[in-house]
Structure formats: structure tokens, C-alpha cells
Amino acid sequence: MLIRKKLPLSLQVFIGVSIGTFLGVVFGTESYLSGFLKNETLGQLGMLVIRLLKTLATPLIFVAILDAFIHTEINFRHGGRLLGICGFNLMVAMFIGLTIMNVFTPGESWTNHISELTAQLSPEAAKTIVKMIPEGVTLNPLKNVMSYIPENMLDPFIKNNVISVILMALLIGSALRYVKHHAYVGDNTGIHLLEKLITETYHVLLQMLSWVILAIPFAITGVVAQVVGKSGLSIFILLSIFLVTLLAGLFIHSLIYYPLMASVVGRMPIKRYFSGGADAILMGFSTNSSLATVPVTLRCLTEKMNVSTRSSRLSVLIGTNLNNDGIILYEAMTALFLAQALGFNLELSQQLLIVAAAVMVGAGVSGIPEAGLIALPLVLSTIGLSEQLIIALIPLIATIDWIIARCRSVVNVMSDMLVAILLDRFEDKEISAN
């Protein structure tokens, strides 16, 4: 009896992207199959699946953090390592971005051509994007932190505010552990039942997500077909210099720095880093969401890369909003590119101000679809651009943001994987030293 081996998820996703690109290029926005199908319809159906994946990812993060407090030891030392690794990765990302922008000054290629470029595009998209900036997201770090504190316990889930969900899970998990070991005298039956309920809920959510993931390749076909069919590929030629500049920064950080760090510091072979994480990398590219990719990233780390459950959960669940190298690198490089195009001669201190703004805004809009593009107007305001000029410039970026956004998501996913690998390596060294 011939047994067919199931195709790896990464290959299924690649096939879905290829078919979607073909349908988008060939049929564009026109109907086909005797008028029965349109790429727009396929895209809408595909987004239903991806939306469901994001919906389930948020409660998964909440319950998984609680489950981690039950079964693993997480303390301030582990949190300090997480912050240190994320901070170092961010510094490297900013070094790469600033080096590219200051050595090659690619934005100068657009000097005296801004009017020509903006004339070919409608500013309506920019007006929509500016209006989409979430309330409460500012360049003030204290106000951004305050926005993470929910008014009630249901609010974070209703608004899908991942940072607030993580903070609540950390607080509840810490309280649960404290009550179990210190504050409660007598029968712990209720606590044990609560722990069992949390663990079983975690496994139920994983099963639900595994069913949704089965439909992902088909969803990706529709989403890619709709995006390519609507935007086309010709816009790449018009904005090629900007596209190459941004992708160069993202690719150097993700395809050179991450694997080298995983190999040299994390002691994980480069081949294994890419092969073991292929499902998560392609999933992030296709869904344009590191949040929606969380279940696959966890599975890649624990099952294919043999990273401990504690390190994987600490990085992917708790640290997911710290591992935003892709968004922050994009924000800073885009702002510097446009500043050069407009003839602004920014000093290093002014460039670092843009970097700081990108960090603050990137954290403030994490978990929001198209977060990088939505946050861009706030970052551009730090170089003194008026709202009218920002509205004129955003369409230049928005027309090709769909491909850059997917690359940003890949960077964020690969950052999650690297942080987990490094946390695991440091933990092994600590155990060996003892």
C-alpha cells in the first residue's frame, strides 16, 4: 500500500504564494472562470482564515504564559536576559540601518523628483492611514506605557492589545504561583484544579489552531492573488531604489546577523536555524503577522530546533513585543530616506531622535495590522514634516508596503527564534557552571 507523505507546511506555503502571485499577475482585478471568481473574493476568503488565526493567537499567548508559570520556573534573571538580548539585537539593527543610510545616502536619488513621484499616486490612501493611527499612541513613552494598563480585564482581549494581555498573564501567573507556595494554608485542591484547567485549555487552543493552520496554504493563495492583482508588479520599477534600500537593511539583519549569532553564540548550525524555522519564516511572510505565526514559531523551536519550552515561551510569548526589529528598522530607515530626498541634512543626534521615536511608536502599535505603515506618520513628524507633506509622501510607501511588510514580519519571527536560542544557550552555560 502506497503511503503519501504529507508536504511540509513551508512547502505548502511556498506553493500557495506561487499560485497566488500567478493569479494576481495574470488576472489582476478581472473576473475569471466564466466570471465565477475574482482575486478580490479569494483574498477576502483568505483573510477570514488569517483573522481567525490572529483571534486564537491572543488567548493562546495568555493561557500559555499561565501554563509556563505552572510548569516552569521564570524569574527576574530570565527576564533580564530577555531584555538584554532584545536590546542588543535592536542596537545592531539600528547600526545596520544608519550605516546604509549615511554611507550610501540612497534618498538623494529622489531629490527634485518627489513632486514627479507623488503626482502619479493618489493621496487618498495616506489620508486613510493618518486617520488609522490608534488613539493614545504618541511619541511620549510614559503615555504609551499608560495605554497598556487596561480599564478592565476584558478590554485587552476585546481590543486585541497583546502587550496588555501579556502584562495581565504575568501578573495572574505570579499571583497563582505565590498563592500556591506561600500565601495559602490548607488544602490546595482548588489551586490544583485551576492549574489543570489552564493546562487543558492550552491544549484545546493548540488543537483549534492546528485545524486552522491546515487551511493556511489556501488562504495565502487568495491573499497573495488579491494583493498582487490590485497593486501589480510594475510599481517596483518606479520605487526600486527605496525598495532595495529597505530590503537590504532587513535582509542583512535577518539573513546575516541572526544566523551568525545563532551559530557563534547560540551554537546552532546555520542550516538547522533556517531548516528548523522554515515553517515559521514562510508563515510570517505569507500572513504578514508575527503574532499569527506564534503557534508555528513555538512548534519550530521546540520540535525541530530542540529549544527548551521555557526559553521558547519566554521569547515568543512574553518577548514577542520586544522583538520588533523589523518594524523599528523600517520606520527609521524610511524616515531617513525621505529626509535625504527632501534635502534635510540631519546630524547624528537628530538621526538618533528618529531611532528613539521608531522604538517608542513601534512598541505602541505592536499587534496592530500594518503597524509599520500606520505608525510611520508619527515618526516622520519628528523630522519636522507637516501633515500635508506626510499625506503627500505616504502613498509612495503604501504602494509597495505589502511586500516590505511581509519582510518586516519575517525579521520579527526570526528575531523571536534567535532570542529563544540565545536564552537556551545561556541557560545551558549556567547549568554547566553549577
**320 pLDDT more than 90:** no
Of the candidate ranges 69-73, 222-226, 261-265, the one whose mean pLDDT is the lowest: 69-73
Q: Which 3-state string (H, E, C) describes the chain?
A: CCCCCCCCHHHHHHHHHHHHHHHHHHHCCCEECCCCEEHHHHHHHHHHHHHHHHHHHHHHHHHHHHHHHHHCCCCHHHHHHHHHHHHHHHHHHHHHHHHHHHHHCHHHHHCCCHHHHHCCCCCHHHHHHHHCCCCCCCCCHHHHHHHCCCCCCCHHHHHCCHHHHHHHHHHHHHHHHHHHHHHCCCCCHHHHHHHHHHHHHHHHHHHHHHHHHHCHHHHHHHHHHHHHHHHCCCHHHHCHHHHHHHHHHHHHHHHHHHHHHHHHCCCCCHHHHHHHCHHHHHHHHHHCCCCCCHHHHHHHHHHHCCCCHHHHHHHHHHCCCCCCHHHHHHHHHHHHHHHHHCCCCCCHHHHHHHHHHHHHHHHHCCCCCCHHHHHHHHHHHHHCCCHHHHHHHHHHHHCCHHHHHHHHHHHHHHHHHHHHHHHHHHHHHHHHHC
- Is 155 domain-assigned? no
Question: Cβ neighbours of residue 83 under 8 Å, at least 6 residues apart?
Answer: 322
pLDDT of 306 reads: 94
Mean pLDDT in residue range 381-402: 74
Q: Note whether residue 334 is domain-resident.
A: yes
Task: Give the three cell numbers for residue 156.
Answer: 485587552
Residues 316 and 297: beta-carbon distance below 8 Å: yes
Using CA atoms, how far residue 220 sits from 60, 186, 278, 407, in Å, is: 22, 53, 16, 15
Do the beta carbons of residue 147 and residue 137 sit within 8 Å?
yes
**Higher-confidence position of 118 and 75:** 75
Does residue 404 lie in a domain region? Answer: yes
CA atoms within 13 A on the CB side of 5: 3
| Buried-exposed string 103-117: b where 16+ CB fall within 10 A, e elsewhere | eeebbeebeeebeeb
Q: Is the pLDDT of residue 431 over 60?
A: yes
Residue at 178 is within a domain: no
The whole domain housing 358 covers 76-147+216-433
- What CATH number does residue 292 fall under? 1.10.3860.10
Structural domain includes residue 395: yes
Q: List Cα–Cα distances, 421 to 260, 320, 385, in angstroms.
A: 12, 14, 41
Q: What is the mean pLDDT of the chain?
A: 81
pLDDT tier, 142 (very low <50, low <70, confident <90, very high otherwise): low
Report the number of distinct structural domains present in the chain: 1
Residue 346's pLDDT is 85
Q: Is 196 exposed, middle or buried (0-12, 13-18, 19+ CB in 10 A)?
A: exposed
pLDDT of residue 145: 65
pLDDT of 23 above 50: yes
How confident is the model over 266-318, as pLDDT tens digits?
A: 999 999 999 999 999 998 888 888 888 888 999 999 999 999 998 999 999 88
62 domain residue, yes or no: no
CA atoms within 13 A on the CB side of 106: 21
Handedness of CA 371, 56, 415, 155 (dihedral sign): positive
Residue 3 has pLDDT above 50, yes or no: no
Residue 415 has pLDDT above 90, yes or no: yes
In terms of pLDDT, which residue wins out, 196 or 362?
196
Q: Is the pLDDT of residue 1 over 50?
A: no
Q: Give the model's pLDDT for residue 229.
A: 82
pLDDT score of 54: 76
How far apart are the C-alpha atoms of 392 and 129, rounded to whole Å? 12
Q: What is the pLDDT of residues 355-376, one digit of tens each?
A: 888 887 766 555 555 666 767 7
pLDDT greater at residue 314 or residue 429: 314
pLDDT at residue 4 tops 50: no
pLDDT of 130 above 90: no
**Is position 204 within any domain?**
no
Is residue 379 situated within a structural domain? yes
Give the model's pLDDT for residue 119: 57
The residue to which cell 488576472 is assigned: 27
Average pLDDT over residues 69-81: 78
**How confident is residue 61, by pLDDT bands cut at 50, 70 and 90?**
confident
